[in-house]
C-alpha cells in the first residue's frame, strides 16, 4: 500500500543518503520528462561542478529529446554520475540511466525498454501514448505468417504432387501472397514510417550517450541499444539488475548502508499526489553534513539506522 508522503520527508531521507555516501544528491522525481523540468534543472545546476554526484531518479518517462539533454547537462556538471533508482526509471528515464557511471538498484528497482512513445488517437475517440514498436511488431507478425504459409504450402504441394521444387515454390508463393495480402492491407505504411523514425531516435540517442559520454565502442553500443529498443515484448517490460548486468551495463545493488533508506524512499516516491520534485542536497565535506532543508528528527532517525548497519559490517 502506498504511504502518504510529503516533499520534506523525501528530502529528509535523501539527505541521510547524502551524509552516508558523502556525496551531493540530486532528487529527480519526474512525473513526466518535459521541457519545463529541463529548464528548472538547468537553472539549478548551471553554476555547479561536482567531482561525484548521486542522482535519485524516479520517472515513468516522457520526452526522449529532453532526456538526452538532461544527460548532457548532468555530464557537464559532474565528473562521475551515479544514478540511484529506488523503484523505477522507465522509457526516457532509462536513457538517463545509460549516462551513469553506476546504476544502483534495489531488488524492486526496474528500468524499461527504450522504444519511443508516440502520442496518437486511440479507439473510442481517446488519445494517448503508444509504443512505436507496436507497428513493427505487427509487421513482423505478418512477415512471419507469410513465410510460415509459404513453407507449409510448399511442403504440402510437394508431398501431394509430382511437381518440381521450383514449380511448387512458385505456386506456394502465389497462395501465400494472396492469404497474407489482406493482413498487409491493414497496415498503414505512413504510420510504419513514423514508427520507424521514432525508434531510430531512441537508438541514436542511446548510442550517442554510450559512445560520447561513457566511452563505449560504437559496435558494442549498437548491440546493447538495439536490444533495449526492439528486443523486449512490451513497453512496460521489467528490466532488472540481473538483465542490466547481462547487457554489460554498470548496474549493481545499493550498499547495505543505504538499503533501508532507498527502500523507504521508493515508498515515498510512489505517492502520486506529489508534484515533480527537482531538489539538490549539497554535501559539505568540511562539516560532513548535507544541506537542503533536512529536518532534525529525520536526521536522527536515519543516523541510527546508519550506525546499526555500520555495526553489522564490522569484522569479528
Q: Indicate the average pLDDT of the chain.
A: 83
CB 310 within 8 A of CB 20: no
Percent residues over pLDDT 70 in the chain: 74
Q: How far apart are CA 308 and CA 316, in angstroms?
A: 15
CB 222 within 8 A of CB 247: no
| Predicted pLDDT at 170 | 80
Tens of pLDDT along 198-256? 788 999 999 999 999 999 999 999 999 999 998 888 888 999 999 999 999 999 999 99
Give phi and psi for 268, each to the nearest 5: -60, -40
The neighbouring-strand residues paired with 58 are: 29
The domains of the chain, with CATH numbers, are 7-112+238-312 (3.90.226)
When mean pLDDT is compared across 126-135, 143-152, 292-301, the lowest value belongs to 292-301
| Predicted pLDDT at 199 | 83
Q: How far apart are CA 121 and CA 129, in angstroms?
A: 9
Give phi and psi for 131, each to the nearest 5: -75, 135
Tens of pLDDT along 153-196? 788 888 888 788 887 788 777 777 777 666 556 656 656 556 66
Residue 52's alpha-carbon distances to 136, 252, 262, 280, in angstroms, are 40, 17, 19, 13
CB 50 within 8 A of CB 79: yes
CB 157 within 8 A of CB 174: no
What is the value of pTM for the model shown? 0.77
| Predicted pLDDT at 311 | 46
Burial of 225 (C-beta count, 10 Å sphere; 0-12/13-18/19+): buried
Tens of pLDDT along 70-129? 999 999 999 999 999 999 999 999 999 999 999 999 999 999 999 876 666 666 666 666
pLDDT at 299 over 60: no
Residue 237's alpha-carbon distances to 177, 204, 223, 231, 253, in angstroms, are 34, 21, 19, 10, 20
Q: How confident is the model at residue 151 (pLDDT cuts 50, 70, 90)?
A: confident
pLDDT at 148 over 90: no
| Predicted pLDDT at 140 | 60
C-alpha cell, 65: 529529446
CB 278 within 8 A of CB 37: yes
Roughly what angle, to the nearest 10 degrees, separates helices 133-160 and 218-230? 80
Give phi and psi for 193, each to the nearest 5: -65, -40
Residue 126's alpha-carbon distances to 118, 123, 150, 270, 282, in angstroms, are 14, 6, 39, 26, 44
CB 8 within 8 A of CB 293: yes
C-alpha cell, 85: 533508482
Kindly report the length of the chain.
Answer: 316
Q: How confident is the model at residue 53 (pLDDT cuts 50, 70, 90)?
A: very high
CB atoms within 10 A of CB 61: 24
| Predicted pLDDT at 293 | 57
CB 84 within 8 A of CB 244: no
Tens of pLDDT along 247-282? 999 999 999 999 999 999 998 888 777 789 999 999
Indicate the SS3 state at residue 315.
coil
| Predicted pLDDT at 235 | 86
Amino acid at each position: 500500500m502506498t504511504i502518504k508522503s510529503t516533499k520534506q520527508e523525501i528530502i529528509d531521507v535523501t539527505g541521510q543518503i547524502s551524509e552516508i555516501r558523502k556525496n551531493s544528491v540530486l532528487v529527480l522525481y519526474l512525473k513526466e520528462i518535459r521541457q519545463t523540468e529541463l529548464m528548472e534543472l538547468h537553472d539549478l545546476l548551471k553554476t555547479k561542478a561536482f567531482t561525484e554526484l548521486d542522482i535519485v531518479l524516479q520517472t515513468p518517462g516522457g520526452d526522449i529529446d529532453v532526456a538526452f539533454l538532461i544527460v548532457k547537462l548532468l555530464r557537464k556538471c559532474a565528473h562521475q554520475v551515479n544514478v540511484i533508482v529506488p523503484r523505477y526509471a522507465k522509457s526516457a528515464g532509462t536513457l538517463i540511466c545509460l549516462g551513469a557511471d553506476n546504476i544502483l538498484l534495489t531488488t524492486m528497482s526496474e528500468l524499461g525498454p527504450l522504444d519511443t512513445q508516440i502520442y496518437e488517437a486511440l479507439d473510442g475517440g481517446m488519445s494517448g501514448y503508444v509504443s512505436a514498436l507496436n507497428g513493427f511488431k505487427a509487421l513482423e507478425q505478418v512477415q512471419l505468417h507469410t513465410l510460415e504459409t509459404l513453407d507449409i504450402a510448399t511442403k504440402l504441394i510437394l508431398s501431394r504432387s509430382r511437381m518440381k521444387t521450383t514449380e511448387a515454390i512458385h505456386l506456394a508463393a502465389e497462395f501465400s501472397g494472396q492469404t497474407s495480402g489482406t493482413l498487409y492491407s491493414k497496415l498503414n505504411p505512413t504510420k510504419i514510417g513514423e514508427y520507424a523514425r521514432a525508434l531510430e531516435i531512441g537508438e541514436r540517442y542511446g548510442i550517442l550517450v554510450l559512445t560520447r559520454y561513457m566511452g563505449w565502442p560504437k559496435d558494442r553500443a549498437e548491440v546493447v541499444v538495439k536490444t533495449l529498443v526492439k528486443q523486449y515484448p512490451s513497453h512496460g517490460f521489467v528490466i532488472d539488475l540481473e538483465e542490466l548486468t547481462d547487457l554489460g551495463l554498470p548496474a549493481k545493488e545499493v550498499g547495505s548502508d543505504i538499503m533501508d533508506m532507498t527502500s523507504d524512499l521508493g515508498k515515498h516516491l510512489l505517492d502520486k499526489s506529489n508534484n515533480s520534485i527537482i531538489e539538490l542536497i549539497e554535501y559539505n565535506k568540511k562539516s560532513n553534513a548535507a544541506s537542503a532543508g533536512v529536518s532534525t528528527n529525520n536526521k536522527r532517525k536515519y543516523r541510527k539506522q546508519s550506525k546499526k548497519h555500520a555495526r553489522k559490517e564490522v569484522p569479528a
